Structure 1
Amino acid sequence: MRTSATAEKPGISRRNVLLAGAAAGGLSACGMRAGREFLSTDTHPRGYPTVAAVEEMGRLLEQRTDGRLGIKIYAGGQLGSEQDTLEITVFGGLDLNRVNLAPLNSIEPLTTLPALPFLFRSNEHMRRALDSDIGEEILASLEPHGLIGLCFYDSGDRNFYNTRRPIRTPADMRGLKIRVPNSDLYVSMIRALGADATPMSIAEVYQALVQGVIDGAENNWPSYESGRHFEAARYYSLTRHVIAPEVLVMSKSRWDKLDEADRALVRAAAKESVPYMRGLWDQRVADARTRLLASGIEVNEIEDTAAFAEAMRPVWDRYIMTDQARRIVDAIVAAGEAEG
């Protein structure tokens, strides 16, 4: 357990410090068995590409250590929300955690950068940029906050969907109530388009759409399908406004207990799980898209994405606050321009 000074970090609540103590004393005691299993959590269910990727990482560790190291995964949100489990991970109650960027934003500002609107030109641009030293720098920024960033996983391109009309221009967004993750960055993006941002858990979105609490949301093809949001919100507009990754992190307190050889094994297995995850992800996107189109939803491309990018440009000014952040963003943009 860390000191009370650590507990005052932004984004860390005293309630979850207590949860961390319970997790460390309970989960770790029954699961680590002299350090043989790393305890991992994911809010996605079994079979989801990120869960399967961590399972593959565990398989590689078991294979390379003759079973000495492995991973036990609590999937499907069994241990709580990403915010709660992230805090438990910081304090050593969990070893590994797959999280969205949003709950990391209040911990480390550099994690907002990959979620800036229209930063990446394509999924390929995102992958190439974050597989490079740029991505490693962002991952490394988590260490002072009690986390070891191991790798990025895909989360696809995010698009708007709603119950009222196709979105073709920024003007079509005005007045719509749009669900967003609990993230100041996402709230800023939606407000920049003249819509009303409504932070909400993903689990609440379907009912909110049906009841008219919100008019729409934004997410990738698989989430739009698996949450059954398409049943209520039939208009899916391909803005591709965000192409942000997800992150696999490890508790630094657990990392510090590993010797150099085991750290190298963990890093290697995590990196090797990335192409495995991407293959599963690409297939899942293709399958979801096929099923959704067959369901009769109305899909439209955006003829002028530059108009959306221009409307959201003030968001960049708000979140690129340091020379380091500017250098990282410039490097990502340059990599996209080189792509042509």
Structure 2
Amino acid sequence: MIALDRRSLLRGLGGAIGGASVALAAGCAPMEGQLLRAVDTHPDGYPTVEAVKYMGQLLRERSGGRLGIEHYAGGVLGQERDALEITIFGGIDLNRVSLAPLNPIVPETLVPGLPFLFSSTQHMRAAMDGEPGRAILDALEPHGLIGLCFYDSGGRSFYTTKRLIERPEDLRGLKIRVQSSDLFVEMVRALGGNPTPMDFGEVYQGLMQGTVDGAENNWPSYESTRHFEVAPFYSETRHVMAPEVLTMSAITWKRISAADRALIRQCAQESIPVMRELWDAKVEQSRAAIVASGVRIAAPDPAPFQALVQPVWDRFVTTPTMRKLVDDIRAMDPA
């Protein structure tokens, strides 16, 4: 039997990308037997990567070695949009993806990304573990994807090269990098900033060269990308707590038995607490490293920011299904 030791997974955090060129060549090869190919743009050792590896251990153990996962981390198959397209067409079996690239395809995925929808990490987890999360996962299937589970992506906050963001007025005139998402563009615009869509891999250079004045992301991403070196002002607004999603190609899904589908779903669910344990530890580790680096940190009052984003909600919550999701999520707020 395979030892499923969470402590060893925790010790494995922070691993570097390795064997990228080999993985790139192997990632597009035909699937051998029932070895499922999984991709992630996060590097090896990142909590989502380690959670999918844990899922693979469970699959291998419970299937007697008949099922398993071969993981290609670090974006070796390109950025999320590219990998998502390959997944839909069956070239990738499992894909951990942010919700933003799914927004144009599946409107329901916009809802967890609404600014200030969640009051806390506990609120987000309860909603995504419950009926609202199940409804969003189910909405993926008509678009060629099977939604397996949600993973944390933390609270996104602003960081800049110039000043702390303590009030919305402090964003005025600043070019803020955002994901290529209409929702994020309109959110930053509503808060007074100048939204600038940019691939994640270009952000460090953009901050250094002044192409953008700031960005927004969680503690682990801010620390692991070294963005704090060029943008040493971090304002903990936690304006978005949208999770990420583990998906499976519907083409692959249709090729496997009902029993194997049930096993994959169960192992994915059991990977969630592992991911969360790793994630919480990573957040604390990253925050401590940032504090030690001398970065200036603020914890702004969220109320003035929240007051400005209602037009964003009005624009993007456009269907009865989306409105019900919003209502159901808000009703689950434990605060």
Question: 5+ unaligned residues in a row in structure 2: which ranges?
Answer: 1-23
Match of 2:310 in 1: 313
Q: CA deviation at 1:26?
A: 7.7
Contact 2:159-2:215 at 8 Å conserved across structures:
yes
Name the amino acid aligned to 2:254: D
CA distance in 2, matches of 1:259, 1:54: 21
Secondary structure of the corresponding residue to residue 311 of structure 1: coil
Q: What secondary structure, in the 3-state scheme, does the structure 1 residue paired with 2:308 have?
A: helix
Residue 28 of structure 1 and its aligned partner are, at CA, apart by: 4.2
Q: 1:147 aligns with which of 142, 145, 148?
A: 145
Alpha carbons 2:27, 2:77 under 8 Å: kept:
no
Per-residue Cα deviation, 1:192-246 (whole angstroms, up to 9, x for no partner): 0121101011111111111111110000001111111111111100111000100
Contact 1:95–1:254, Cα closer than 8 Å, also in 2: yes
Q: Which of these residues, 189, 199, 203, is aligned with residue 191 of structure 1? A: 189
2:328 equivalent in structure 1: 331
The residue type equivalent to 2:151 in the other structure is Y
Q: How does 1:220-299 map to 2 (within 5 A)?
A: 220-299=218-297
Q: Is the 8 A contact 1:28 1:39 kept in 2?
A: no
Q: Which letter maps to 1:77? A: G
1:26-41 map, 5 Å: 27-29=28-30, 32-34=31-33, 36-41=34-39
Q: Which of 176, 179, 189 matches 1:178?
A: 176
User: Given residue 329 of structure 1, which amino acid in structure 2 is its aligned partner?
Assistant: V
Give 1:69's aligned residue: 67
* Residue of structure 2 in register with 1:88 after alignment: 86
Q: Does 1:103 align with 2:104?
A: no
Distance 2:166 2:41 in 1: 32
Identical amino acids, percent of aligned pairs: 58
Give me the TM-score of the superposition, normalised by structure 1.
0.90
Separation in 1, partners of 2:32, 2:317:
44
| SS of equivalent residue, structure 1 residue 78 | coil
| Deviation per residue, 1:10-43 (Å, 9 max, x gap) | xxxxxxxxxxxxx9x98342xx223x20111111
| Residue 11 (structure 1) aligns with | none
Does the residue aligned with 2:290 lie in a helix, a strand or coil? Answer: helix
Q: Is the 8 A contact 1:28 1:94 kept in 2?
A: no
Q: CA offset at residue 169 of structure 1? A: 0.9
Between the aligned partners of 1:150 and 1:256, the Cα distance in structure 2 is 15
TM-score, scaled to structure 2: 0.91
**Equivalent residues of 1:221, 1:289 under 8 A apart:** yes
CA distance in 2: counterparts of 1:104 and 1:196, whole angstroms: 23
**Secondary structure of the structure 2 residue equivalent to 1:248:** strand
Summarize the alignment of residues 12-51 of structure 1 with structure 2, pairs less than 5 Å apart. Answer: 27-29=28-30, 32-34=31-33, 36-51=34-49
Residues of 2 paired with 1:160 and 1:94: CA distance? 33
Specify every segment of 5 or more residues in structure 1 that has no aligned partner in the other structure, as ranges: 1-22
Q: Secondary structure at the match of 1:324?
A: helix
CA contact under 8 A between 2:160 and 2:233: conserved in structure 1? yes
User: Is residue 177–residue 215 contact of structure 1 (8 Å, CA) maintained in 2?
Assistant: yes
Distance in 2 (alpha carbons) for counterparts of 1:214 and 1:164: 11
Whole-Å separation in 1 of the counterparts to 2:78 and 2:222 = 22
Contact 2:27 2:37 in 1 (8 A): no
What are the superposed Cα offsets for residues 27-79 of structure 1, whole Å, 9 maximum, x if unpaired? 342xx223x20111111111000000000000000000010000001111111
Q: Retained in 2: the 8 A contact 1:126–1:243? A: yes
Pick one of 136, 157, 173 that aligns with 2:134: 136
What are the superposed Cα offsets for residues 103-159 of structure 1, whole Å, 9 maximum, x if unpaired?
Answer: 101110100100000000011100011100110000000000000000000000000
The code of the aligned residue for 1:330 comes to: D
In structure 1, the partner of 2:9 is none
Whether the 8 Å contact between 2:27 and 2:72 is mirrored in structure 1 is: no
Which AA in structure 1 matches 2:256? L
